[in-house]
Chains A and B, each alone.
Chain A
């Protein structure tokens, strides 16, 4: 027995327990990344994910500070807690990355996504689609005699639910922006 009182194989932090101490369960995290708005910066971020085998569930990017030439990238990613930690550390190494925030651990935050859904159909199905859109506060932004295009904003789950309902009613096409997110307060 050592003075550090670690019994063979029992240390919580020994490599034997590498997996269990980190946890094996796959988690979803929303990361907000502030970067210099310069050529190639998005390629650096995406290249990191593909090069190291990380997942991207969704990604949005736009300039948020014109004077400071800063863009904000929001990435929703999944992985074990260890992988999520690595993703953040690796993002931090990219020279034009200024800040990396993990909104999922930083506290409460709001996430919104915008989607456009084209739904085709006639008669009763068309009426049903309009009624459901109303419940979901989706607006028809384009309509023809045999189709509607709805615009919906909300959490990804809300967009998922709306898309599921539209599917049997004649969903033809869907375009989603991916998540934009801010911490609360």
Chain B
């Protein structure tokens, strides 16, 4: 079907064609024609945020929790520049987004017009791809291509910049089905020779480990199912990056917990000592590898990834398999079964005995207190009181609370854990929780926050109240930039330069001022009741949990150290980080 319509109408039509039900946005002069079209229809819901950064993070939360691209609509100039942090965040974490920006009319581009910014120039390095549309006849095709690029291969954010005259002008609309096949076609099937090598390695390995990441979640629920089958039938231990939590259930027998800088002892030790490492949709990030030249020195390494540039970027691997994880795991399982389902089970039992020894260290132990709420205790209680909810979604901000959440909360399903991994964006969690709640209106959506991060996008309380979104803001308030304080303690001679939050607001009154509910708790004895009150309240809650101010997050692999040099607790931290580690972040 092609038909004649204005560019603004095409935008709405293309979104409908692509099955979009929600747009997160903020209006302004350069997008008024599109807003006018949105006003005149009811199929697409527009959520008015309070800041464009909030719109992008909300769309990320929507995308991460549904597997569908998040859609954002903002104006030119400041609207577009405010979206930059969110775009970079989505690029680092491979989150599919389609961001539409208004632009000054084509005949004014380059004249320093009011609210003109070189949006495609500014966002070129922080999008997977972007387009400036100069001709209304090309608009529909570009919009459909934008969805295709955002979703396929390694997902990511794309941006379409639409000048105002292109929105006003009329042109031919082409429906999604009529658009010619895209040139952009990432490879899905893995090389069968390499898959065979991997199957042989699986059959022989004595000390295997599966190291999984966000790619499993991006590949879709089939990938998680196949992964679970692989673990179950091989009895291999499995760990995951921060981004991959939930692709294997935390309650599963073979789960070692998260790995990396603040990962579990057993996971990191197993990574270090394994003889076969199968990386599935992770990218050997520096938070995972620690010191490169001492990373898992004795293992043969396989890497399954859809992005060829992820392979051999940081760590050289023996079996590089480029392809979609669900496709590759399916082939691996089928071949392994056809060859007789062999593993070296005697050796693997020995390996498990070793792992159980590491587990018995109980690296997450902490000293509890009857007087003050320990942040770990708050999360343990939150877990205990909410884990029966299969529709529980957790977002986080960035800092110590984020790492504790990853350590102490258990995820049974993919797409229920939203956190800013690659960029580490403070201010991500609150708007992300709004996006998640919009996508899952009846679910229990909790943002585990630090007080400092939460303040970075607190204006979104207005959005939560306006749409009556019952998001629970669970603030572990240590009145500190806790993670910064921890590094200063360990690396900078306890000189706490600007790492505390002075003049904090009264969060209960703040909630009240927005028309939300505020709850403050400081006594461990009151914690359970307060959490239950938060969960049962039908509306947005700001939960101010006053916690121990100087708690450090352990275990920790100091920067520049290998996996087997983990710090387990306070006693071990003296001089742990050498001066060469101190230059790393």
Contact = CB atoms under 8 A, between A and B. Distances in A.
Task: Please indicate whether A and B come from the same complex rather than being unrelated chains.
Answer: yes
A3 B121 contact: no
Nearest to B127: A95
B207 A2 contact: yes
Interface in A58-102: 82, 85-86, 89-90, 92-96, 98
Contact of B315 (A4, A18, A90, A98): A18
Given A11-B297, A16-B293, A44 B206 contact: no
Contacts of A51: 125
A105 interface: no
A118 B547 CA distance: 75
A4 B204 contact: yes
A15 B204 contact: no
B128 A95 contact: yes
B297 A8 contact: yes
Among B296, B308, B309, B318, find the residue whose CB has the most chain A CB atoms closer than 10 A. Answer: B309
A98 B313 CA distance: 21
Contacts of A185: none
Contacts of A86: 309, 312-313
A174 B124 CA distance: 33
Contacts of B121: 43
Contact of B309 (A4, A44, A90): A90
Contacts of B149: 95
Nearest to A18: B316
A42 to B, nearest CB: 11
B278 to A, nearest CB: 13
Nearest to B121: A43
B126 to A, nearest CB: 10
Given A2-B275, A4-B276, A15-B295, A22 B125 contact: no
Contacts of A21: 316
Interface string B120-157: 11001100110010000000000000000100000000
Interface in A5-50: 6-9, 11, 13-19, 21-22, 36, 39-40, 43-44, 47
A168 B42 CA distance: 78
Give the interface size bracket for A toward B: 35 or more
Nearest to B134: A39
Nearest to A98: B183
A16 B184 contact: no
Given A4-B276, A6-B275, A95-B184, A15 B124 contact: no
A96 B182 CA distance: 11
Interface in B295-328: 295-301, 307-309, 311-313, 315-318
Contacts of B201: 4
B113 interface: no
Contacts of B289: 15
Nearest to B130: A40
B298 A6 contact: yes
B298 A9 contact: yes
B169 interface: no
A5 to B, nearest CB: 9
A22 B292 CA distance: 14
Nearest to A93: B309
A47 B292 contact: no
A49 to B, nearest CB: 12
B344 interface: yes
Given A4-B201, A43-B121, A95-B128, A14 B299 contact: yes
A9 B298 CA distance: 6
B214 to A, nearest CB: 17
Contact of B298 (A8, A19, A90, A93): A8
Interface in A88-139: 89-90, 92-96, 98
Interface in B91-123: 120-121
B301 A13 contact: yes
Among B120, B125, B128, B289, find the residue whose CB has the most chain A CB atoms closer than 10 A. Answer: B125
B205 interface: yes
A86 B307 CA distance: 12
Contacts of A6: 275, 298-300
A4 B293 CA distance: 21
Nearest to A40: B120
Contact of A43 (B124, B206, B295, B311): B124
B300 A11 contact: yes
B347 A13 contact: no
Contacts of A40: 120, 124, 132
B530 interface: no
B294 interface: yes
A95 B294 contact: no
A98 B309 CA distance: 16
B316 A13 contact: yes
Interface of B: 120-121, 124-125, 128-129, 132, 149, 183-184, 201, 204-207, 275-276, 289, 292-301, 307-309, 311-313, 315-318, 344, 347
8 contacts: A11-B298, A11-B299, A13-B300, A14-B299, A15-B296, A36-B183, A89-B313, A90-B309
Given A51-B125, A85-B312, 18 more contacts: A2-B207, A3-B205, A3-B347, A4-B204, A11-B297, A13-B301, A13-B317, A14-B297, A15-B289, A15-B294, A15-B316, A16-B294, A18-B292, A18-B316, A93-B308, A93-B309, A94-B129, A95-B184
Interface of A: 2-4, 6-9, 11, 13-19, 21-22, 36, 39-40, 43-44, 47, 51, 82, 85-86, 89-90, 92-96, 98
User: 5 nearest interchain CB pairs?
Assistant: A89-B309, A2-B275, A95-B129, A15-B295, A3-B204
